Amino acid sequence: MKKILMAHDGSRESKKALRAALEIAVKFNSTLYVLSVVPELYLTELSDMERQRIKDLLTEETNRTLARVSRSLASHPIEHRTLVSQGVPADEILDTARRLRVNLVVVGSHGRHGARRFLLGSVSSKVVEHSHCPVLVVK
């Protein structure tokens, strides 16, 4: 297992998924790619200027989060890279996994209550369904 892609959105679930991906990467001496996707905004109530401002703020926040992730990974004996893309999160994860030819994709699940707790989030579910390689969903 030479390449692992981990999708990070700043949530508690993605932090757990990062720990799992790191453990696997260390064990197999893999390169770990950490991807964060800034989602497209389709809010028709907003002007183009307001959408751009929100996108810029989300991009800045994403870059800060990935800088923290990169610093935390620096102390581990693996090669790692952080990536930021923009678009539909599941599509960007799948496209990046194919482009990088990764051997494993690691994503976090969404915490759910009641009967819905057994369902994956929409991003995780789409990645599992359409990935060219194995997907580890961390709860």
Domain borders along the chain are 3-138
User: What is the Cα–Cα distance from 8 to 35, expressed in whole angstroms?
Assistant: 6
pLDDT (tens digit per residue) in 84-97: 999 999 999 999 99
Which pLDDT value is given to residue 110?
66
- Provide the β-strand partners of residue 94: none
Comparing 67 with 43, the larger pLDDT belongs to: 67
Comparing 20 with 12, the larger pLDDT belongs to: 20
pLDDT band for 59, please (50, 70, 90 cuts): very high
Tokens of 93: 């994860």
pTM of the model: 0.89
Which pLDDT value is given to residue 47?
86
User: What is the Cα–Cα distance from 25 to 72, expressed in whole angstroms?
Assistant: 14
Tally of residues, the chain? 139
Q: Is 120's pLDDT higher than 70?
A: no
User: What is the Cα–Cα distance from 95 to 80, expressed in whole angstroms?
Assistant: 19
User: What is the Cα–Cα distance from 89 to 139, expressed in whole angstroms?
Assistant: 18
Provide the CATH topology of domain 3-138.
Rossmann fold (3.40.50)
User: What is the Cα–Cα distance from 33 to 4, expressed in whole angstroms?
Assistant: 6
Q: Residue 105 in contact with residue 133, Cβ under 8 Å?
A: yes
**Average per-residue pLDDT for the chain:** 89
Q: Strand 104-108: give its sheet, edge to edge.
A: 80-87, 31-39, 3-7, 104-108, 135-138
Q: What SS3 class is residue 35?
A: strand
User: What is the Cα–Cα distance from 78 to 30, expressed in whole angstroms?
Assistant: 7
